[in-house]
Amino acid sequence: MSLIRLALFEPDIPQNTGTILRLGACFGTPVDIIEPAGFPWSERHFRRAGMDYLDHVDLVRHVAFAQFLEALRSDGRRLVLASTKAALPYSDFTYSGNDTLLLGSESRGVPDDVHAAADSRVLIPMRPGLRSMNVAVAAAIVLSEALRQTGGLPAAGPAQDF
């Protein structure tokens, strides 16, 4: 069984990246980071948001979108972009275990070529007049629905201390 993956396109804010890495650790979801990041890459930048969960996430860094896309295609994965420019609500989309959920940069989203490379695009419906949600919140919303649909949510159990 393939695992759904999260991917971040050129993230700008280390705290959001740390939060998404923590999300990946908690759900057992691998995370891909597509560089360049808008901050120096160091564990120190992620520690505050990611805390000690960083040791529990499967993280892959890609030097550029082309390298990421090549790896994705060679694994037979489908690219699903969460975008404010999409028309299909995330909850109406049918996810599969071979999906990689892509989220854009906090300040720029994704460029047109990345948007065009996506196999599907999903939208988180919001009140009119508002631009977007925090990327970590958006990641949690879309990932949770994808895992729910594919039976990938972890079994409920007592919290563990790390």
Taking only the tens place, the pLDDT of each residue in 91-138 is 999 999 999 999 999 999 999 999 999 999 999 999 999 988 999 999
Q: Quick check: 118 and 81 in contact, CB under 8 A?
A: yes
Residue 161 lies in a domain: no
Residue 159 lies in a domain: no
User: How far is the first Cα of the chain from the last one, in angstroms, to the nearest whole number?
Assistant: 27
Overall domain count for the chain: 1
Q: Residue 57 is part of a domain; what is its CATH number? A: 3.40.1280.10
The pLDDT of residue 162 = 52
150 pLDDT above the threshold of 60: yes
- Distance CA(86)–CA(64), nearest Å, equals 23
- Distance CA(95)–CA(147), nearest Å, equals 8
pLDDT, one tens digit per residue, over 55-72 is 899 999 999 999 999 999
Q: Quick check: 121 and 80 in contact, CB under 8 A?
A: yes
User: Which amino acid is it at 153?
Assistant: L
Residue 158 lies in a domain: no
pLDDT, one tens digit per residue, over 9-21 is 999 998 899 899 9
User: Phi, psi (5° rounding) for residue 47?
Assistant: -55, -45
The pLDDT of residue 40 = 79
pTM of the model: 0.91
More confident residue, 79 or 54: 79
Name the residue range of residue 100's domain.
Answer: 5-150
